[in-house]
Amino acid sequence: MLWNILKKDFIKRKSINLILFLFIILATLFLCSSVNNIKVTSSALSYYVNKAKVPDINFITNTDKDRKEIETYLEKKKEEGTIERYARNHFIVLNSKDLKAERDGKTVEIADSRGSLYVSALDVDFVLAFDQKGNPLELKDNEIGLSHAFMKKNNLQLGDTLILKGEKLIITQEVKDAAFGSDIVGMTRFLVSENTFKKMEPSFQKLRLYYVDAHDPSIILKELKDISIPSIINIVEKGTYAMAYSFDMMTAALFIAIGICFILISLLVLRFTLVFTMEEQYQEIGILKVIGLRDLAIKKLYLMKYFVIVSIGACIGLMLSIPLSSVMIESVSENMLMESSEANFGINVLCAAGIVLLVLAFCYFCTRKLHKISAITAIRGGQSGERFHDDKCFSLSKCKHLPLPVYLGMHDIVTHVKRYAVLIITFCISFILITIPLNTVNTMRSDEMSKRFTLDPSSNIIVKQFEQDQKPVNITELKKDMDMFKEQLNQKGYKAQMSAVPLYFIRYGKTDAFKHSYLSIQLVGDRTSYLEYEEGNAPELENEVAFSKKAMEDEGWVIGDQIIANINGVDRKMLISGVFSDYMQMGSSARLSPVINCDKETLFDYWNAQLYIDSDLSDAKLLSELQKAFPHQDFMNAQTFINQNIGGIQDALDQMLIPMTAMLCAVIMLITFLMEKLFIAREKGEIAMMKSIGIPYKTIRLWQLTRMVFVALCSMLIAIPLSYISNQFILKPIFAVMGAEVKIQVDALQAYGGYPGVLLIGIIIATLVATYQIKRIDIKEMNNLE
């Protein structure tokens, strides 16, 4: 008997059951893949850095003059048991001019030489690298391994030849490099065999890196910061490597948020369908009560029906969640070594089982009103007979000038707010969902983001490196290179101004026992006052310095404090003039006055050189002309530079916007179609009565359409403040992980007009398709109207 009841119900309401079945699949699909990815991505960083044997502490020296002192200290700490092990490693420093590539005897353009370029061999048991399958990297002599991102950006392929200052090496591996694989680190490491490295070493500048694993890294870290060893130019903690992948994790975080929103939408639709179906079947419930069935027995009918639907839907969603999990983490796994999402299949199964139990519990909860319904009330369709009351808020007499469809649509919403609340919430979530990646992209493209990377938004072009044989080793050489390049530009007919951002590592502290070495930047050139400060002022005098908000909090300093800085090998008193927030050195850095003399301070690198060219050409055309005039240079605009340094996430989000909008539009059309069919099923009597008094078919359809449009517009209005809240509590924390807060940029026309407009069009189309069945409603249905 139960099977026959189920069979008839499935046939009678096949379209509604089918749509509900699809949403169960979607709920299972996104819940399983999202929870799976939460586990995978949350453990990925620690898994990656541990497998790669990233050291607890890594410090860099630029000469060997303090080698004996450093290694004596490390040996002493090892004997004491504070240090477990340590190793010393060399990096060859490359100039972008040193790079060339060949394929089949033809030159391949190296268009992207992001950050600093280095070559090393895997000759120590630290900072290991892996191939794309996660296996330990193996390289023969005259072979080289490059990161996937570098090969992709430069259109390089396995088998191509990379020429490093005359040394020809065959590209045989795409590398995953935990320590130096993230673009925001600002370092790209090329890997070669030990023999190849020894052969190349005499021809290049070198950096020396010390890797330390300690029982208590904080002790070693504090001592290294306190002792004064001039050749140590930077100290990096293990946690910094994990933070460097924060932008890579942003895509995964956004997908998780999207998955959770889809689950919420699916459950809202499920609840709406359950309640609506029960109300439609009040008379059947009454008959079942009259013949003696208890409430629990009636509930079993609903539980069995939805158990069948949800079990089959959950199984299908479970199977689909496996490939979706792989797709969702693909952009992250390009740069990282991650555990296979299939390895957590048990989590998917538990999630699918959880959805089955959740839906059954939901069914049981929604049918609790059966206890309050008498057999007579149920037979009368849930009505008590006292159905008429004065609608003072929306009476016909006050709205006599409104067209009939508009009045009916607005009247339905105002007088049955609870009925349309689920639909409003569902649409609202969909509208908010589309703004999350949109606002992320707009923020990354904004002037705000440029300034967080110490870029001047008014600059036309960024040049990565001047055409010199070696990188400048101090500020004097950098200024000389800038002057030479400006002269070259003038000779080509480009009247240009230029500014650059040299980078130093300088020790600062309250006393002579220096506490920390901070990345310190100094603006030099024609424009040096474009950076912003949250508190205080930019350093203008020689004895002034500003620190990032994070550095100030770590050290316990405030504006006006006097500190000691070791510049040019001399201790000098400095006054803290301001506080700023940016992404340099993971949000922990310092800014020096442009007028302070740092000519004896070793230049770690320079971040960029910015050109200000007065031209009638567009920036894109100017960029193209400069690239032709200086073919060996690497020119780009600010957004390209930022995108390179955060792993190309802008491109990933750009590519995601249109497919996501299409997916959301399809989902919202399904929701609208389902709801409208349920509304029509409930309102057959009213529609039949309207037909009987001569109201045209088109007017009735327009009434239904107007109602849905009003619901969508209400949802859009509600979504605007909620979208602002999501910016504060979802996007801001993601950006802040890198050490600086940014103001989320919103393009109102796109976020609240263009993209929601596409969803609104989908709602209109779905409503028109669903209301086509009104034509088949006969006036005999008036018999069902009380």
Using DSSP's 3-state secondary structure scheme, residue 463 falls into strand
pLDDT value, residue 452: 87
Using DSSP's 3-state secondary structure scheme, residue 631 falls into coil
Task: pLDDT band for 523, please (50, 70, 90 cuts).
Answer: very high
How, if at all, do strands 589-592 and 516-522 pair? parallel
Q: Compute CA 368 distance to the chain's CA centroid, rounded to the nearest angstrom.
A: 42
Q: Report which DSSP code applies to 690.
A: H
pLDDT value, residue 710: 92
What does the pLDDT look like over 43-91, one tens digit per residue? 777 777 888 888 988 888 877 888 888 888 889 888 888 889 999 998 8
Task: pLDDT band for 341, please (50, 70, 90 cuts).
Answer: very low
Question: Is the model's pLDDT at 383 over the cut of 60?
Answer: no
pLDDT value, residue 467: 60
**Cβ atoms of residues 126 and 142 within 8 Å:** no
Report the C-alpha gap between 600 and 604 in whole angstroms.
12
Segment of 287-301, 388-402, 529-543, 620-634 carrying the highest mean pLDDT: 529-543
Question: Is the model's pLDDT at 385 over the cut of 60?
Answer: no
What does the pLDDT look like over 574-613, one tens digit per residue? 999 999 998 887 788 999 999 999 988 878 778 778 999 8
**How would you class 32 by CB atoms within 10 Å of its CB: exposed for 0-12, middle for 13-18, buried for 19 or more?**
buried
What does the pLDDT look like over 414-458, one tens digit per residue? 888 877 887 888 888 888 888 888 888 888 888 888 888 888 888
Contacts of 423 (CB under 8 A, 6+ apart): 272, 671, 675, 711
What is the SS3 assignment for 485-549?
HHHHHHHCCCCEEEEEEEEEEEEEECCCCCCEEEEEEECEECCCCCCCCCEECCCCCCCEEEEEH
Report the C-alpha gap between 786 and 639 in whole angstroms.
65
Question: Is the model's pLDDT at 29 over the cut of 50?
Answer: yes
Task: Specify the range with the lowest mean pLDDT, choosing from 157-166, 423-432, 648-657, 698-707.
Answer: 648-657
Q: Tell me the percentage of the chain whose pLDDT exceeds 70.
A: 81
What is the pLDDT averaged over residues 534-554? 92
pLDDT value, residue 438: 86
Q: Compute CA 70 distance to the chain's CA centroid, rounded to the nearest angstrom.
A: 41
pLDDT value, residue 296: 78
**Cβ atoms of residues 431 and 756 within 8 Å:** yes
Report the Cα–Cα distance between both ends of the chain, in Å, rounded.
Answer: 31
Task: Specify the range with the lowest mean pLDDT, choosing from 82-96, 250-264, 342-356, 480-494.
Answer: 250-264
Task: pLDDT band for 521, please (50, 70, 90 cuts).
Answer: very high
Q: Report which DSSP code applies to 435.
A: H
The CA angle 239-244-249, to the nearest 5 degrees, is: 110
What is the pLDDT averaged over residues 535-564? 92
> Token match 């890997």: residue?
191
Task: pLDDT band for 12, please (50, 70, 90 cuts).
Answer: low
Contacts of 252 (CB under 8 A, 6+ apart): 37, 41, 328, 329, 331, 332
Task: Specify the range with the lowest mean pLDDT, choosing from 174-183, 556-565, 679-688, 711-720.
Answer: 174-183
What does the pLDDT look like over 726-744, one tens digit per residue? 888 878 887 776 677 788 8
pLDDT value, residue 702: 92
Question: Is the model's pLDDT at 240 over the cut of 80?
Answer: no
Helix and strand counts by DSSP (H, E) for the chain:
26, 23
- Residue 3: phi and psi, rounded to 5, are -65, -40
C-alpha atoms less than 13 angstroms from C-alpha of 341 in its C-beta half-sphere: 26
Q: Which residues pair with 163 in a beta bridge?
A: 100, 168
pLDDT value, residue 256: 64
Give the number of other CB atoms < 10 A from CB of residue 291: 8
- Residue 93: phi and psi, rounded to 5, are -90, 125
What is the pLDDT averaged over residues 319-323? 83
Question: Is the model's pLDDT at 98 over the cut of 60?
Answer: yes
pLDDT value, residue 562: 92
Q: Which residues pair with 525 in a beta bridge?
A: 499
Cα separations (Å) of 304 from 298, 359, 436? 10, 11, 39
Question: Is the model's pLDDT at 182 over the cut of 70?
Answer: no
Report the C-alpha gap between 252 and 87 in whole angstroms.
35
Element housing 170 (H / E):
strand 167-177
What is the pLDDT averaged over residues 745-757? 87
pLDDT value, residue 344: 67
Domain extents for the chain? Answer: 1-56+243-385, 63-230, 400-453+643-786, 461-636
Contacts of 612 (CB under 8 A, 6+ apart): 458, 459, 460, 496, 497, 498, 499, 526, 527
> Token match 């339905």: residue?
412
- Residue 49: phi and psi, rounded to 5, are -70, -30
Report the C-alpha gap between 781 and 786 in whole angstroms.
11
- Residue 730: phi and psi, rounded to 5, are -115, -55
Element housing 70 (H / E):
helix 67-80
DSSP-based helix, strand, coil % in the chain, nearest 5: 55, 20, 25
Of 66 and 209, the one with more pLDDT: 209
What is the pLDDT averaged over residues 173-198? 81
Q: Which residues pair with 579 in a beta bridge?
A: 535, 547
Per-chain mean pLDDT for the chain: 80
Task: Specify the range with the lowest mean pLDDT, choosing from 56-70, 116-130, 235-249.
Answer: 235-249
Choose among 351, 441, 448: nearest CA to 661. 441
pTM of this structure: 0.71
Choose among 428, 430, 441: nearest CA to 250. 441
Question: Is the model's pLDDT at 142 over the cut of 80?
Answer: yes
What is the pLDDT averaged over residues 200-216? 85
Which residue type, as a one-letter code, is found at position 280?
Answer: E
Of 534 and 376, the one with more pLDDT: 534
Contacts of 620 (CB under 8 A, 6+ apart): none
Question: Is the model's pLDDT at 462 over the cut of 80?
Answer: yes
What does the pLDDT look like over 480-513, one tens digit per residue? 888 888 888 888 888 889 999 998 888 888 876 5
Per-residue exposure over 195-234, b if at least 16 CB sit within 10 Å of its own CB, e if not: ebbeebeeebebbbbbbbbbeebeebbeebbeeebebbbb
